[in-house]
Amino acid sequence: MQVYLESLGCRLNTAETETLAQHFAGAGCEVVTAPEAADVIVLNSCAVTAQASRKSRHRLHTLHRLSPQARLAVVGCWATADAALAATLPGVMWIIPNADKARAVEIITGIEAAPAAWAPGRWGHTRAFLAVQDGCDHACTYCITRLLRGPARSRPFDDAVRAARDLVEQGAQEIVLTGVSLGAYGHDLGLDHGLAMLVEAILQMTAVPRLRLSSVEPWDVDEVLLRQWVNPRLCRQLHLPLQSGSDAVLKRMGRRTNTAQFAALVAAARAISPDIAITTDVIVGFPGETEADFAASLDFVARMAFARLHVFPYSERAGTPAIRLPGAVPAATRAARAARMRALGEQLAAEYRRRFIGQMLPVLWEQQDEGGYWRGLTDNYLEVATQSEHNLYNQITPAQVL
Ligand code: SF4
């Protein structure tokens, strides 16, 4: 069986898709890089916003058009949220919700087998995305993810460390720890400071040159976790979802933080690691967000000097409390606010990058583009390109930021 896999959405989906590829290969399937060459196509879908759901649906149509003979399997969040609609799409043979995702390969192939080894680039990515946590116990009023992925649960500690060690032996130069609520890692295992313990253990017990955290909710970051950044192998990036820079909006969103606490956290992180890239997510046009709230949000985002911003216009999701809130913001206003917030994000990213121009920073080279340039990331998430006659793939070498 020839299998083509594709992933939409978050880094947890990326990690899970690579795990599926390992299991398909372990079951004797050939994992192919083009949908046209596949008998079976697996789409690990996303439903975090209405747009993401649309994208999942459109992508299935496109994949069917590209490869009409292939049977389609739709896996993950959109398969969970919109199973009935997914079943009507041409070519769709399997609908596998999150609850059954771990058994997806067995459901599709009928074979239960140990996974094949990971190798850099073998399933698409050079960096190794390691899923250590799933689900969420919080109650942010806009969020459908917790409804689709269920309560927070963690990969057992020893198993997570062992998986990291295996990835290093298989050639990983950078491991990215992922989860829906990564900062909650270990709570269900009875561990205090579980994520900090896991970071410390991986850094001590493996030789991984770089370890990165995908995203940590602000209320899960404390002194113990921040202290891990004294180790230079922990990449100088902290993705802290803000969602709004207005306290009134944060409260309606059910976020367990306010702007004063968030600013104090950013200051504490920069006190330990002055050049750390603080990156974030922001939602604009949440119900009841006034012009004054939005102005406060812009002002707070600017003051936090984020290194990168992901901006989402608010999207109504069935089953979430936010859809019952009064004060819906018109779609045109949401789009206009998103454009203004993105423009600010670009300006802040350029300002952050400017601080490093001329510096030599270690870069993990991940691909060579058509023009012959090697492209990679610094540990503080700057994109860098260089020309070299040597094969730099999956090496960490110094390069000048331009
Ligand atoms: S912390 Fe909030 S936004 Fe994040 S997954 Fe949980 S409920 Fe959703």
Q: Is 385 exposed, middle or buried (0-12, 13-18, 19+ CB in 10 A)?
A: middle
How far apart are alpha carbons 250 and 57 in whole angstroms?
31
CA 303 – ligand 1 centroid, Å: 24
Best residue among 12, 134, 136, 251 to mutate for probing ligand 1, ranked by most atoms within 8 Å of CB: 136
Distance from first CA to last CA of the chain, Å, rounded? Answer: 46
How far apart are alpha carbons 223 and 211 in whole angstroms?
19
pLDDT in tens, the chain (402 residues): 999 999 999 989 999 999 999 999 999 999 999 999 999 999 999 999 999 999 999 999 999 999 999 999 999 999 999 999 999 999 999 999 999 999 999 999 999 989 999 999 998 899 999 999 999 999 999 999 989 999 999 999 999 999 999 999 999 999 999 999 999 999 999 999 999 999 999 999 999 999 999 999 999 999 999 999 999 999 999 999 999 999 999 999 999 999 999 999 999 999 999 999 999 999 999 999 999 999 999 999 999 999 999 999 999 999 999 999 999 999 999 999 999 999 999 999 999 999 999 999 999 999 999 999 999 999 999 999 999 989 999 999 999 999
Closest protein CA for atom 2 of ligand 1: 140
Would you state the pLDDT for residue 123?
A: 84
CB–CB of 220/184 below 8 Å?
yes
Closest protein CA for atom 4 of ligand 1: 181
Q: Is 146 in the pocket of ligand 1 (CB under 6 A)?
A: yes
Which atom of ligand 1 is least distant from the CA of 144?
8
CB–CB of 386/374 below 8 Å?
yes
Count of Cβ atoms closer than 10 Å to residue 160 Cβ: 22
Residues linked to residue 363 through DSSP beta bridges, in sequence order = 378, 397
How far apart are alpha carbons 176 and 399 in whole angstroms?
22
Would you state the pLDDT for residue 124?
A: 84
Would you state the pLDDT for residue 113?
A: 86
CA 275 – ligand 1 centroid, Å: 27
**pTM for this entry:** 0.94
137: closest CA among 152, 149, 148? 152
Best residue among 12, 13, 180 to mutate for probing ligand 1, ranked by most atoms within 8 Å of CB: 180
Which atom of ligand 1 is least distant from the CA of 180?
5
211: closest CA among 172, 171, 240, 156? 172
CB–CB of 77/48 below 8 Å?
yes
